[in-house]
Amino acid sequence: MNKEEKNLKIRQSIQDTRKRHQTMDCKTYEIKVLHAKLNKDQKTTINTMFREAKWLRNFHIANNIDKTFRSTRVVQIKVQDHFEKRRISNLGSQMIQDVFDNIKSELKGLKTKKDKSGKGGKLSFKSVCNSISLRQYGTTFAVKDKHHIRIQNIKKPLYVKGLKQIPKKAEISNAKLVRRVTGLYIYITCFIPKEEIVKQNKMVGIDFGIAHNLNLSDGRVIDIKLLDDKMISIYSKRLNRSFIKNGKLRSKNHFRRASLLQKAYRKQNNRKYDRANKVLHDLNKSYDLIAIQDEMIANWHKGLFGKQVQQSCMGMIKAKLKANPKVIVIPRSFPSTQICPKCGATTKHPLSKRTYDCPHCGYHHPSRDIKSAQSILDYALLM
């Protein structure tokens, strides 16, 4: 087989794979690397990989992402007031090219943002790099067994937790090695055969609120409020003691306290994600059609209900519902809380009044929020 035939075969294989993936669901799974199972060589290699990725990124930005340096293994870095040459020895060739390609992708995103809003910004140098792309399965990374993942240039496979959540029929595409304050993670992207949709012959309208976060047209209410972790306020007070008025550090434990605060916020966010995903799974499984209104939840957070919105995950649920093909989004201009479902007249009610009464036809509903959800569903069915 000559070179042209080989390249043709590779291109055909890529096209076939893309066509197959179009009929599958794409999901990303979070796999945690157990820090206690890492030996000294593994820790040193991983830290060096992140450091070299930072050198490469800053080098490409300084050289205006010149294509001649796309696969370079020698970079110049600034050390105090002079430059030194450093060799990239722990990153594989594919990882080096991915750093270059990721910068190009970021530049395209900035250009798109500038074309839309006129504000684009620019790429800046990084003092820390916390992610490395692992694009090619089998070369840059590979799953060895139920508890081990091999990464290129790391001598021994990493002991991980969470591989059991990946289905057996999944096709692994790519991954990303990410370093956080809570530990080291590998995010694996897979393509999974679509599940057969079981029709429930049910439709529902959802009204977002403060008293009850989700009000469903069938009478159900779902509260997704999570109280703030007490450790967040404790670590915030301790971190504030690290500074004095002129901004200078007063405590050597500043970075340790900042790390503890980040871990507390990360834990709280994980709880919100877990709660939101459970609610979304329940809605997606129970109903064939979901109607919501394009509420300005961000404005609620800026107004009188900032704490209540912050303690919930309504914004997260709304964003994921809008991306669901089952969901119909009606415009925010529709007066769902004011309109009467019987005569069509609109009547304003103060926030303190939680029931609905129509002075025109005498219609009464014990919950204005559930009535609003019913109006949202009715309007969505007419669209």
pLDDT tens for 277-319 read 999 999 988 898 999 998 887 777 776 666 777 777 888 888 8
Which pLDDT does position 304 carry in this prediction? 65
The distance from CA 258 to its chain's CA centroid, rounded to whole angstroms, is 22
| Residue 208 backbone phi and psi in degrees, to 5 | -80, 140
Lowest-confidence range among 38-47, 233-242, 333-342?
Answer: 233-242
- Name the percent of the chain lying above pLDDT 90: 33
Sheet containing strand 203-208, strands side by side: 221-222, 214-216, 203-208, 289-293, 327-330
Beta strands in the chain (DSSP E): 24-33, 74-79, 82-87, 131-134, 141-143, 148-151, 158-161, 171-180, 183-193, 203-208, 214-216, 221-222, 289-293, 327-330, 356-357, 364-365
| pLDDT value at 231 more than 70 | yes
Which pLDDT does position 361 carry in this prediction? 85
Residue type, 122: K
Q: What is the pLDDT of residues 310-329, one digit of tens each?
A: 777 888 888 899 988 889 99
| Residue 32 backbone phi and psi in degrees, to 5 | -100, 135
Q: How confident is the model at residue 247 (pLDDT cuts 50, 70, 90)?
A: low
Q: What does pLDDT average to over the chain?
A: 87
Q: What is the pLDDT of residues 265-277, one digit of tens each?
A: 888 888 888 888 9
The distance from CA 180 to its chain's CA centroid, rounded to whole angstroms, is 14
Q: Measure the CA–CA gap between 217 and 208, rounded to whole angstroms.
A: 11
Q: What is the pLDDT of residues 133-160, one digit of tens each?
A: 999 999 999 999 899 999 999 989 999 9
| pLDDT value at 245 more than 60 | no
DSSP 243: B
Q: What is the pLDDT of residues 50-65, one digit of tens each?
A: 999 999 999 999 888 8
Q: Among 288, 340, 286, 292, which residue's Cα sits nearest to residue 317?
A: 292
Whole-prediction pTM: 0.80
Q: Among 64, 52, 157, 140, which residue's Cα sits nearest to residue 103?
A: 64
